Amino acid sequence: MISLVLRGAPLRVCVGALAVSALTFGAALAQNGPPRPLDVPYVPTPQNVVDTMLKVAGVSRRDFLIDLGCGDGRIPVTAATRFGTRGFGVDLNPVRVKEAKENAAKNKVQRLVDFVQGDLFETDISKATVISMYLLPSVNMKLRPFVLSLKPGTRIVSHDFDMGDWKADKVEKLDYKTVYFWIVPAKVAGTYAVKAGKQSFDLKLEQKFQEVTGTARIGGKDVAIANGKLVGADLSFDLTMPDGKVRKFEGNAWDLGKIGGKGWAARRI
């Protein structure tokens, strides 16, 4: 069940079939047009770009894809048709939503995908494993805080526009088009007490999106970590130990305030 909020009133949307209240609301909007000016003009994503977006994001049957500003629904419909991916699209323009529903029906995937007229900024996106979009830089930046609050490992794919200083994990070029891809990183910044075999030390981590820096306090000295990186909740970094050997720490931020892996564990202090 997806929860949508339109103009401050909660609306329950059932993926696969709309509730009667949603249908009534959508019919009224279809007569009156969008409730406010559109955030972006409607420009369909070329099919080859759709194909690349799905490939770069690694979309599969196991995913739930939410398309923000879905237009005629071609991204969720393509994913459903090719991979059996469940999907959901939201668009402010009821004309586009009607087209998207017709597209799903034409391709016989309406049991897998659903489309709703609504404001993407008021849409619950917490259930997504993949989010796709073709918006504008200013809209991407407005969405960024919401995206970064999603579950670590959620994949984001964007046609043509990036997210400012949040560097893409992957960039794919297609002639005059660009596909950007990110993996939502866990939040690991903080100070930790680490136990690694016979070694115990404090670790201070700083974070800029998926890039991690920091220092370990070992033997009364601060030693900088190297090659710090997050891929979703998977954390890795290198640390020079007191014996002069470089040890690679690989683990998982499995819980707020706890990280660790084989041979080591840390808790936030």
Reading the chain (269 residues) residue by residue, the pLDDT tens digits are 333 333 333 333 333 332 323 333 333 334 445 666 767 788 999 999 999 999 999 999 999 999 999 999 999 999 999 999 999 999 999 999 999 999 999 999 999 999 999 999 999 999 999 999 999 999 999 999 999 999 999 999 999 999 999 999 999 999 999 999 999 999 999 999 999 999 999 999 999 999 999 999 998 899 999 999 999 999 999 999 999 999 999 999 978 899 999 999 999 99
pLDDT at residue 11 in the model: 33
Do 56 and 174 fall within a single domain? yes
Structural domain for 230, as ranges? 190-268
Distance of CA 267 to the CA centre of its chain: 26
Same domain, 139 and 91: yes
Check whether residue 176 and residue 199 sit in a common domain.
Answer: no
Cβ-based neighbours of 45, under 8 Å, separated by 6 or more: 53, 71, 74, 75, 134, 159
Please tell me the predicted confidence (pLDDT) of residue 14: 37
Phi, psi torsion values for 31, nearest 5 degrees? -80, -35
> Do 139 and 213 fall within a single domain?
no
Same domain, 75 and 175: yes
Q: Minimal CA–CA distance to 264: which of 245, 243, 244, 239?
A: 239
Is residue 154 located within the same domain as residue 81?
A: yes
Same domain, 163 and 206: no
Residues 137 and 11 occupy one common structural domain: yes
- Residues 68-94 have pLDDT tens digits of 999 999 999 999 999 999 999 999 999
- Domains of the chain: total: 2
**Measured between alpha carbons, how far is 72 from 75 in angstroms, rounded to an integer?**
9
Which one of 183, 214, 229 terminates a domain? 183
What pLDDT is attached to residue 33? Answer: 57
Check whether residue 52 and residue 163 sit in a common domain. yes
The tokens of 95 are what?
Answer: 């004309």
* Full DSSP string of 2-55: EEEEETTEEEEE-TTS--HHHHHHHHHHHHH--SS--SS---PPPHHHHHHHHH
Q: Are residues 217 and 125 in the same domain?
A: no
Same domain, 178 and 203: no
* Burial readout 16-48 (b: 16 or more C-beta within 10 A, e: otherwise): eebeeebeebbeebeeeebeeeebbeeeebeee
46 and 108 inside one domain = yes
Domain boundary among 137, 163, 183: 183
Return the pLDDT at 34. 60
| Domain end marker among 183, 210, 235 | 183
The pTM of this model reads: 0.84
Q: The domain that contains 60 carries what CATH number?
A: 3.40.50.150
